[in-house]
Chain A
Amino acid sequence: MKRLLLILVICVAQTYQSFGQGLSNTFYDEVWSVKVKQIDDFVDRFNNEINFLKNGSLVKNKFSPETRPKLLSSLVNYDKVKDQLLVEDFIQWIYKEEFFLQLGKDNIQCELNVDAFYKQKKFNLDLILKIEVLENGAMKWVISDAKSTSFPWKTIEQNPSKFINPSNHNLRFSNLFKLINEGNDIQGMFANDFELNNFSIIVHEIIEGNLEIKEIKKIDYRISIDEKFKFLVSYFDVPSTPSGWLISEIY
């Protein structure tokens, strides 16, 4: 982190002369200045840039490639990622392969842990989002999946006693009336490889007005690198350095 501080101080010093005017009433906060303030800030630094607003003026700093390992190292929360060898391997691979991040690519997805309520009953829900790029270059975040350990609706398991018998076609599928119209004994009607699509149910329940979210509790970004590495970027709001969006897991 000291290296990053040094880099930042150099950046500020280099640009000081360029921008004499600025916000009139300012203060300097070291923790805030060094903090990785947005995921965009993380991407900048991952790509060997430090960009910031200084006294209201945009300052961009692209660094020479040799600086990159140091900058990458400053993005790792070493309290969370204990394996130093893995970190070193990770950084060296990115450096040598000249790998860069780009928001909008499929290899970045966002995981939101939210407090969701289904018919006023709370349940835990993870929404998976990714950026979708349209033909005209416009972008939008889209929900690509939803996960929960406790969906508040019934799951479907195969039931060997519930089925449409193999000769029922000769009776014009008379079993269907019993299975569908009498109770919820629908297990066995579906193919073995059928999986209940909870995401579709969620979409349906949102449309029906039965599902709402109260709070986003946690946001993580899961990023994959050419099937070589995956890493998790999480937010650390601590009054010390390093803070902000940092790598919390590499695997």
Chain B
Amino acid sequence: MKILQAVFTCLLQMLVVVNVFSQETIYTTDGAIIEAEISAIDGKSVSFKPIKKNAKATVLKPEQISIIVFENGHYLTFPNPKMSMESIKEKKTLPNDVILTKYVDVLEGTITNTTSEKIDFYNIKSNMQTSIKLDEVLMVINKNGDHTLYRKAPEIRVFLEHMQPEVIALIETAPSSISAASSSPGRPAHLSGNPQTSAASVSTQSYASESRGNNLAQSEERYSPPAAQQSATVMVQSTGAASATVDNVSQSGQNSGVQVTQPMQSPQQVQSGNINGTTANSNFNRNASTNRPSELTDIDFDEFSDKALQKIEDFTGYLGIIASKETYPESANQAIELAIELFVSEDVQVEVSTAGFSSSMKRKIRDYLNRLKLLKYDRVDIQWANINYVSNFRKAPDGNYYGTVSVQQTFRGYKDNQVVYSDVTTKDVEVVIKGMEKSVQGQIEMVWDVLLSDIGVVDTK
């Protein structure tokens, strides 16, 4: 029986892992994968010649294509690529291996091992050896330019489009070496690859995120390939000399999230260690008044502030995905689930009011997102004010810490390349630093997670 299972697994692997050798890879909306040499891309067509013997030059409409991945590992998303083919092709390969996750995170590091369940890699930002479940991975881009898609291209196209600026930024902000990489405190270890993480954060902290894994295990079922024939479009590995090895493609029912081992601090340790904690600061501190009374809870929560803003940005990213017409319904639903996981509970409310109008509407987060899904734009563009504010975090009777982040955003919805809706909104987002007891090597320790709570939205313009 075991032999039969092994044979079956081997056969399944052969069916679903498609090795792609060099050149550009075109992933079409109907699931086809074409290795090709592309001659031109314009707004109306993509001209290419498949790399097959006796293949003829072919033209596809942009609407027929989901993604094109180039030899250097960079990609264009269709039907409205954000960059020209020329500018993408001239990009250097990435300085490190990159994992794009369903959390819309770009994790940079060195992949050390890939199994049927997880990818082991050294996270350059967190400076830690980490594992990430395969079912959390959308795409892997190896530093030699090889790539692997772990989902159907049409389903992840919008996610990849959203992450593209971050991926490209990795070339421009490439660290000199792994050992010199800055840590990414204030962000859960499995999300620590984001370049926005503050350089000002000073202390280390671990965060619990177990609940995420369970929910994702459920949502993941929607992505299970229904048949081997379709599976071929689900997981495509572009192989080269240094590409990762996929041993087994059978989907695991378990989802324990990313496992990270890291020393943890008790909240008392954090407090005592960081009172009047430092941040990278201006010269104004030199003459700072020492008379200001410190609040009872005025401990250094800089890293939590950073993390809170990151979560809000993640949330905004999901809003863009949910509101886009090009997002597959399944992807939109998944984005809704992922967005909700950023919140402390489903009972949180989003209050929407318009400047100049006295009344406001309150909706529960899921209802708010489901309504947003109905607003379909060809694409959306969300920008942040570069100056925002986060309040002190204060301890509440439930033992958690509460703060508020105030941010300003612009939202533009496009149809036929025309802005059909735009607004400038101020969002006041309540942030909860939630403590949870966790058993670590037989000892109970507190771990802290940053979650979003009620949101007040005011249209200002």
A residues with a Cβ closer than 8 A to B are 10-12, 14-15, 18-29, 32-33, 37-38, 40-41, 47-49, 51-65, 68, 98, 100, 102-104, 133-134, 136-140, 215, 217, 237, 239
Contact = CB atoms under 8 A, between A and B. Distances in A.
Nearest to A100: B292
B198 A19 contact: yes
13 contacts: A15-B282, A20-B173, A24-B196, A25-B382, A29-B424, A33-B387, A38-B389, A53-B388, A54-B386, A56-B196, A102-B293, A103-B295, A140-B396
Given A38-B391, A58-B200, A11 B282 contact: yes
Interface centre among B282, B302, B388, B390 (most CB of A within 10 A): B282
B171 to A, nearest CB: 14
Interface of B: 165-166, 169, 173, 195-200, 279-285, 287-289, 291-293, 295-297, 302, 305-306, 309-310, 313, 355, 358-360, 381-392, 394-397, 399, 404-408, 410, 424, 426, 428, 458, 460-461
Contact of B388 (A52, A60, A65, A217): A52
Contacts of B386: 22-23, 26-28, 54-55
A208 to B, nearest CB: 24
Contacts of B297: 137, 139
Sorted from nearest, which 3 A-B pairs have the closest CB atoms?
A: A62-B288, A64-B287, A14-B282
A100 B388 CA distance: 23
A241 B384 CA distance: 20
Contact of B387 (A20, A25, A32): A32
A48 B292 contact: yes
A37 B389 contact: yes
B106 to A, nearest CB: 11
A63 B284 contact: yes
A138 to B, nearest CB: 4
A55 B387 CA distance: 7
Contacts of A137: 296-297, 395
B428 to A, nearest CB: 7
A19 B358 contact: no
Given A64-B284, A138-B397, A25 B384 contact: yes
B56 to A, nearest CB: 41
A134 B397 contact: yes
B306 A58 contact: yes
A18 B389 contact: no
Contacts of B424: 29
Nearest to A15: B282
A57 B184 CA distance: 12
Contacts of A138: 395-397, 399
Given A29-B408, A41-B389, A18 B289 contact: no
Nearest to B281: A60
B199 A18 contact: yes
Nearest to A47: B292
Given A61-B282, A100-B293, A21 B196 contact: yes
Contacts of A14: 282-284
A27 B383 contact: yes
Nearest to A39: B391
Nearest to A68: B289
Nearest to B283: A14
A56 B306 contact: yes
A48 B387 contact: no
Given A40-B392, A100-B292, A139-B297, 20 more contacts: A23-B384, A23-B386, A24-B169, A29-B424, A37-B388, A41-B406, A52-B388, A53-B388, A53-B390, A55-B386, A56-B310, A58-B198, A63-B287, A64-B287, A64-B289, A65-B287, A102-B295, A103-B392, A137-B296, A237-B355
A116 to B, nearest CB: 15
A57 B200 CA distance: 7
A215 B169 contact: no
